[in-house]
Structure 1
């Protein structure tokens, strides 16, 4: 008995503490890129209820950050689920998590595939085509895109993360983006002012409709999994999830509504320049005719964009022959319907608003020129 006791004590002393590293809290964690050097496939094991598991023994080299050039060996556990498995092979570039523990212990695990290179290639192609085709206007378009991203990442999202009501700041950011974009692309003139007022009005109307209808049908704003996860973030912010939903609706509709507003204002200006003798009514009707053609395609754009993101869900409903009454009344489906229809209504109302404002301003400018 004494011998056994001494053996146990000796093992406790001799076993290094880092064996228990997986139960310890890491001192620091990094996400870096790595390249797979070697992969050895482990044996496939069948666990409970037919679930297959496998381990890949991976040797990889870190190619970024603090441990650049270092080589590590790690185990990549697979669970026979393509949604979560990161199956690697030699030569793959991956994102790895690096965890530092006390006593200089470092653990590395495969987190995801490194996709950023091709994303940057695609972005580069997009920017190049805009500049080549648009020339000076294309360069301005790239600048406005950068400003929009900056406004969202550095203004809108940080303010939301502080718990500020998302609806007013979304409206203000949307109007700010609209003003900067249209003035930079079209210059400071009657056409741009008309497009800004028409676009801003359409976005605000879209948001108000979404807010009213969403409140009446009791949308929670928690239909997306990401929204639910926000309840557990370390900042402990008490989010207004319904407000976040309406904020998303406003931003989602902004692009299409801005496109329509600028198209109508530009069309009316070109028609007026071609025939300055047209009356206000004739000029307004010409703008409305152009708007009617745009309306059919742009409303489809919004509806198809929102439907496209819900295809897997719609297929599930079809596969299980879910009743239409249940489908329409589900929070997640009602959210998408309100989102797409309110955005489309705002888009449609932007056409007469922009046409009216543009007609009034252009005719006013003509009168001022003639009086000089």
Structure 2
């Protein structure tokens, strides 16, 4: 009887895998068509001349301090000048004023710095605007890659490949397409779909559980986009909350409301695929551990895991958005506004919308993915996924 049961379930597993391929193939084709349709041409992305500012690398070789004639409101380096040897450019060494003001870099002899050049009636003027961090970032990236590969081995390598794919799609498709004038929300959904398909299959392999996770993520992602569009419109959010967003809208002619929607969708993707992959894997392991489970038992057991996961992830989302906007929150609260005034301020309301909409997408993803996985495995007691 046991042998007969095994012979019965193997074709069923292969049948479900073939069905998954049939379901996912149109999604792949549609995503590729949308990528080709929205992919910006080289001449479609234009950057205004005033937005392009040449940067120069240099090393501080000497400092000459002077007594300040008047008190500086945001003193960082004091008064005086610095001698900087340029790494690139026609001049071997230049003298620049020591930088001061909010956010100005604190410099010392031997520091590698970034300078910009501006034109004035007296000629070109160089200013130190930042420290060079390329070497330190490369060291940090190398340590990250080594740690990931040492722990994850082959999975670590595929995770690195997936990360490279994500950055490539963001920098080569999403950002240029938005700059070219394509609808930001549509670009974000298509780009996120391409990232999801590539990264999930690359990282977890072409398996039934991966396909279930892909479908659950895609549906939740589209739902997140629709919810964010409806919420942003209902609350009259413009997407302009600081000088940076205002500058992007004015200098590049980008719809900042659409940019807000695109940010919500892309920001939700990373948490969505984590939840859906976990739920699909949970159902798969439960099916292996207890072959007698059918759809309802699998769904209920995996849903308990999903509820615990959602509870922790929701707190992660809130803290992530609060951390990124902490300076703004401090500034608003410091003005002694009432709690109602703080919450309804567009800056805070925008972050609340990000958090709530992303959470609603997650909540929808858990039962959806769990049900799909349980449905796919309900008659496959020993699935090899």
TM bracket (short chain) = 0.7 to 0.9
Deviations 1:176-234 (A, max 9, x none): 1111111111111210011001111222212211111111110011113221002342x
Q: Report whether the alignment pairs 1:128 with 2:146.
A: yes
SS for the counterpart of 2:238 is coil
- What do residues 45-70 of structure 1 show as CA deviations (whole Å, max 9, x unaligned)? 216x978795432222223x345xx6
The answer to whether structure 1 residue 252 and structure 2 residue 267 are counterparts is: yes
- Provide the residue aligned with 1:296 in structure 2: 311
For the residue of structure 2 that corresponds to 1:32, the secondary structure is strand
Name structure 1 gaps, 5 residues minimum: 1-24
Runs of 4+ off more than 4 Å: 49-54, 98-101, 364-369
Structure 2 contact 86–94 (Cα < 8 Å) conserved: no
Q: Please tell me whether residue 287 in structure 1 is matched to residue 302 in structure 2.
A: yes
C-alpha displacement of 1:349: 1.2
Partner of 1:227: 245
8 Å CA contact 2:287, 2:382 repeated in 1: no
**How many residue pairs are counted as aligned between the two chains?**
332
Question: Alpha carbons of 1:343 and 1:89: their partners in 2 closer, same or farther (altered >3 Å)?
Answer: same
2:208 to 190, 197, 200: 190
In the TM superposition, residue 354 of structure 1 has moved relative to its aligned partner by: 0.5
Task: Report the structure number with the largest CA radius of gyration.
Answer: 1
User: 1:55 touches 1:75 (CA, 8 Å); kept in 2?
Assistant: no
**Equivalent residue for 2:188, pick from 155, 161, 170:** 170
1: CA distance, partners of 2:141 / 2:379: 43
Q: Offset at 1:93? A: 0.9
When structure 1 is superposed on structure 2, of 282-291 and 307-316 the one drifting more is: 307-316
Flag the 1:315–1:51 CA change in 2: closer, same or farther, 3 A: closer
Residue equivalent to 2:83: 59
Give the superposition deviation at 1:129: 1.2
What is the distance in 2 between the residues matched to 1:29 and 1:231? 18
In the TM superposition, what is the alpha-carbon distance from 1:320 to its structure 2 partner? 3.0
Question: In structure 2, the residue corresponding to 1:46 is in which secondary structure?
Answer: coil
1:91 to 110, 113, 137: 110
Q: Among 343, 353, 371, which residue is 2:368 paired with? A: 353
| Aligned mates of 1:249, 1:223 — CA distance in 2 | 15
Instruction: Confirm whether residue 36 of structure 1 aligns to residue 60 of structure 2.
Output: yes
Using the TM superposition, give the Cα deviation of residue 75 of structure 1 relative to its aligned residue in structure 2, in angstroms.
Answer: 2.1
Q: Is the 8 A contact 1:59 1:71 kept in 2?
A: no
Task: Confirm or deny: 8 A CA contact 2:84 2:96 kept in the other structure.
Answer: no
Cα 1:348–1:51, aligned 2, differ >3 Å: closer, same or farther?
Answer: closer
Higher relative contact order, chain-length normalized (CA < 8 Å, sep 6+): 2
CA distance in 2, matches of 1:368, 1:262: 16
Aligned residue for 2:92?
Answer: 71
Spell out, residue by residue over 1:312-350, the C-alpha distance to the aligned partner (whole angstroms, 9 max, x if none): 222233333211221122111111100110001111111
Q: CA deviation at 1:159?
A: 0.4
Q: 332, 356, 372: which one pairs with 1:341? A: 356
Cα distance change of structure 1 residues 131 and 283 upon mapping to structure 2, 3 Å threshold:
same
- How far off its partner does 1:34 sit? 1.4
3-state DSSP of counterpart to 2:239: coil
Contact 2:57 2:114 in 1 (8 A): yes
**TM-superposition CA deviations, 1:275-303 (whole Å, max 9, x none):** 22211111111210110110111011111
